[in-house]
Amino acid sequence: MTSPSNLPEPTAEIVAVQDDLVTIAPTGDTPLVKNEVIYIIPHGPEREGGRREYLKAEVLRVRGPAAEAQVFESTSGVRIGDKVIQTGEMLSVALGPGLLSGVFDGLQNPLAEIAAQHGFFLPRGVLVNPLDTVRKWAFTPKAKAGDILKAGDVIGTVPEGRFEHRIMVPFAMPGEVTVDRIREGSFSIEEVVATVRDGRGQTHDLGLIQRWPVRRPIPEPLVSLGQVERLYPSEPLITTIRLIDTFFPIARGGMGCIPGPFGAGKTVLQSLISRFSAVDIVIVVACGERAGEVVETITEFPSQPDPSGQGTLMDRTVIICNTSSMPVAAREASIYTGITLGEYYRQMGYDVLLIADSTSRWAQAMRETSGRLEEIPGEEAFPAYLDSAVKGIYERAGVIRLADGSLGSLTMIGTVSPAGGNFEEPVTQATLGTVKAFLGLSYDRAYKRFYPAVDPLLSWSRYHPQLAEWYRDHIDAGWAGRVEEMVGLLRRGDEIARMMQVTGEEGVSIDDFVTQQKALFLDMVYLQQDAFDDVDASAPLKRQQETFDIVMLVAKRDFEFGDKTAARDFFTRLTGMFKNLNYAAEGSQERSDLRTQLLAAIDAAPQRYQAAAE
Ligand SMILES: Nc1ncnc2c1ncn2[C@@H]1O[C@H](COP(=O)(O)OP(=O)(O)OP(=O)(O)O)[C@@H](O)[C@H]1O
Ligand SMILES: [Mg+2]
């Protein structure tokens, strides 16, 4: 791993500095390589008896004899003539046991570790191993001497908390290798556990970790080796949030976005999704949010119990966080770091959820860098490649089949925070053109405290056709149609509500008024969900179906009220009863009593004729 002792000698020097962009020129004949990681050694501190600093940077563009690199740390004090180390390695992460529960910055610096060594603030230019190099892991070989393996094949496992962490042949290994030696026991991540020999007779020592360049999808080499097959997502990711699962499902291994104006509830919704979704592992990328929010993420998340009943949430979570005070380049990298970790656990056959908050900050970082490179700008000064960059990150989500037949998935959900809530801006538009589920938050709903403030008339999911078969098998063939019908009711209710705003209640017929009340009822008791109630916060799919059926019953009933006041009173009372039902624990006597009372109240309401066979 990276430590001052195994870095090569400096082979280049600084020739220009502009904010966090530097220009370097070689001093020897080591070629400059695009996307290579370099370290700048500012001349000052060491000479003054201080610690030698290594400022990490990434080469963005090679132009003739010089190259421009973005520096991931403050460049203050960096001068022309400062020495530069070329690593020849792309921006990479360490993949191995010990990632779970970790809190890293965008370059995989372990924040807790750094705080322990250097106090709360991350000093500039220190090199810290991302993973604990002392801790021992119990390694159980799965391969034996003589086995012929390929990249991605499992050589053994170590327990990482409650997960089985598969140790795999490095993804970059070309062709087949033969296992020479493999040993069982307790090892630190840097010890050799196996030796393999490739087709040319060259041996490779394998430890518990491998490095991987973050900008390259892990499956890329594995697909061509036949080790990984990409599949279409065909199951919903059950989030236990009614509005999502019923109306705007996101496929497991799919991609969704949550755009919304300032303060509309993007972060809260994302953390609900990460807490309750049916996934094994969660990667949280907090890129460039306010520092306070990041601290909240770090301090609150760890202590929360995992709703699955096992341990805490943090046991299955990796947090990548950058505050807006960190240099933009580190922010830009953080999303790739997060995705790569997600792909790594997917490669072990896990269901992984990656949430990125917010991708707007990431795009802004890209814009700043692009501006400094004086690239030709696109809309609103974002780089012309914004669209392809957005696609590039979301498309790393997906379902894969591994060589042993098991499946893994990486679902990706990003928030977008468009200035002024204007969804026409480039980042939202690029995201909408990429993702297949869109949960648009509205300021109006947030203002009314209708949470989650997802606007049901604005949002969509394109996963319905892909998931139809799953719904048919797990609910029934009519589910999609019924959901569609309820979206129709919301639409009609909205039209009538708008009309009433102009004409007042007197301006609409009693029938229209009742339709509007039904739509409001559906909104109040089904779309809205109380994140702060222990029971209501999470509604399993079966419970959603049950409540949906009752809402549907109300929606279809042909009520006949004497006047609008009677209608309103009825729906107000019903809404109150239904909310209590939502708060009542599954399987409790209370719930079954409330259900009986609710159904009786519906039956007792006056109606035109008894609907047949309900
Ligand atoms: N589901 C919810 N239930 C109750 N309150 C909520 C819910 N969602 C959001 N809120 C309230 O709205 C506030 C802002 O939410 P949140 O921080 O998620 O907004 P945001 O869209 O992420 O804002 P920003 O644009 O600043 O990042 C929360 O602190 C909370 O008070
Ligand atoms: Mg937020």
Which pLDDT band, with edges at 50, 70 and 90, does 305 fall under?
confident
CA of 577 to the centre of ligand 1 (A): 27
Q: How many angstroms separate the alpha carbon of residue 289 from the centre of ligand 2?
A: 7
β-pairing, 255-259 with 437-438? parallel
Whether 267 is in the pocket of ligand 1, judged by its Cβ within 6 Å, is yes
Task: Provide the CB-side half-sphere exposure for 233 (13 A, CA).
Answer: 27
- Give the residue-averaged pLDDT of 569-580: 97
For the chain, report the end-to-end CA distance as a whole number of angstroms.
Answer: 67
Whole-number pLDDT of residue 287: 80
Residue 20 is predicted with a pLDDT of: 87
- Identify the pLDDT of residue 574: 97
Q: Give the Cα separation of 317 and 103 in Å (integer).
A: 9
**CA separation, residue 556 to residues 108, 192, 387, 444, 519 (Å):** 55, 67, 44, 28, 11
Which ligand is closest in space to the CA of residue 266?
1
Range of lowest pLDDT (47-61, 231-245, 367-381): 47-61
Q: Is the CB of 322 under 6 A from ligand 1?
A: no
Task: Answer whether residue 417 shows pLDDT above 60.
Answer: yes
CA of 380 to the centre of ligand 1 (A): 27
In a mutational test of the pocket of ligand 1, which residue from 268, 290, 534 has the highest number of ligand atoms less than 8 Å from its CB? 268
Whether 288 lines ligand 1, by a CB cut-off of 6 Å, is: no
- Of 162-176, 260-274, 319-333, least confident by mean pLDDT is 319-333
Whether omega before 538 lies within 30 degrees of 0, making that bond cis, reads no
Instruction: Report phi then psi at 612, rounded to 5.
Output: -75, 140
Looking at residue 394, what is its pLDDT?
Answer: 97
Give 585-614 pLDDT, tens digit per residue.
Answer: 999 999 999 999 999 999 999 988 755 544
CB of 266 closer than 6 angstroms to any ligand 1 atom: yes
- State which ligand 1 atom lies nearest to the alpha carbon of 270: 18
Q: Is the CB of 268 under 6 A from ligand 1?
A: yes
Neighbour-count burial for 380-402, b at 16+ CB within 10 Å, e otherwise = eebbeebbebbbebbebbbbbeb
Phi/psi at 309 (5° precision): 95, -5
Q: What is the mean pLDDT of residues 337-360?
A: 96
Q: Which residue among 257, 262, 267, 273 is best mutated to probe the pocket of ligand 1, counting the most ligand atoms within 8 A of its Cβ?
A: 267
User: Could you give the C-alpha distances from 483 to 366, 486, 526, in angstroms and in order?
Assistant: 40, 5, 12
Kindly report which listed range (72-81, 197-206, 281-290) carries the lowest average pLDDT score: 281-290
For ligand 1, atom 2, the nearest C-alpha belongs to 451
Q: Which numbered atom of ligand 1 lies nearest the CA of 264?
A: 21
Across the range 193-207, mean pLDDT stands at 96
The reply to whether ligand 1 has any atom less than 6 angstroms from the CB of 275 is no
Rounded mean pLDDT, 139-150: 97
Whether the predicted pLDDT of 289 surpasses 70: no
Residues 194-214: what's their mean pLDDT? Answer: 96
Q: Is the pLDDT of residue 412 over 70?
A: yes
At residue 127, the pLDDT reads 81
Is the pLDDT at 291 greater than 60? The verdict is no
Lowest mean pLDDT among 246-260, 295-309, 396-410, 509-523: 295-309
For the chain, percent of residues with pLDDT exceeding 90: 79
Q: What is the average pLDDT score of the chain? A: 92
CA of 250 to the centre of ligand 1 (A): 21
Q: What residues are paired with 159 via a beta bridge? A: 164
Give the mean pLDDT of 487-511: 95
Note the pTM of the prediction, 2 decimals. Answer: 0.94
| pLDDT-based confidence at residue 533 (cuts at 50, 70, 90) | very high
Q: How far is the CA of 293 from the centre of ligand 1 (A)?
A: 11
Considering only CA atoms, which residue is closest to atom 15 of ligand 1? 265
Q: For position 498, what pLDDT does the model report?
A: 96
Is residue 272 over pLDDT 70?
Answer: yes
* Cα-to-centroid distance, 323 and ligand 1 (Å): 18
Of 608, 281, 386, 553, which Cα lies nearest the Cα of 377?
386
Please work out whether the CB of residue 421 comes within 6 Å of at least one atom of ligand 1. no
- In this model, does residue 337 exceed pLDDT 90? yes
pLDDT above 80 for 25: yes
- Under the banding of pLDDT at 50, 70 and 90, the label for residue 388 is very high
Instruction: Indicate if ligand 1 lies below 6 Å from the C-beta of 418.
Output: no
- pLDDT band at 288; cut points 50, 70, 90: low
Tokens coding 403: 């060589």
Say yes or no: CB of residue 260 within 6 Å of ligand 1: yes
| pLDDT band, residue 74 (cuts 50/70/90) | confident
> Rounded to a whole number, what is the largest CA-CA distance in the chain?
93
pLDDT of residue 47: 58
Pick from 200, 226, 222: nearest CA to 212: 222
- Tens of pLDDT, residues 88-120: 999 999 999 999 999 998 899 888 777 777 776
* Closest ligand relative to 286 C-alpha: 2
Q: How far, in Å, from the CA of 282 to the mean position of ligand 1?
A: 20
pLDDT for 198 equals: 95
Q: Comparing 113-127, 202-216, 312-326, 542-556, which segment has the lowest mean pLDDT?
A: 113-127
HEC per residue, 571-602:
HHHHHHHHHHHHHCCCCCHHHHHHHHHHHHHH
CA distances from 51 to 48, 133, 197, 291 (A): 9, 22, 41, 27
262 lines ligand 1 (CB under 6 A): yes
Cα dihedral across residues 12, 14, 18, 19: positive or negative: positive
50 vs 365, which has greater pLDDT? 365
Burial class (CB in 10 A: 0-12, 13-18, 19+), 609: exposed
Q: Work out which ligand 1 atom sits closest to the CA atom of 452.
A: 1
Residue bearing the CA closest to ligand 1, atom 8: 265
The residue among 490 and 305 whose pLDDT is bigger is: 490
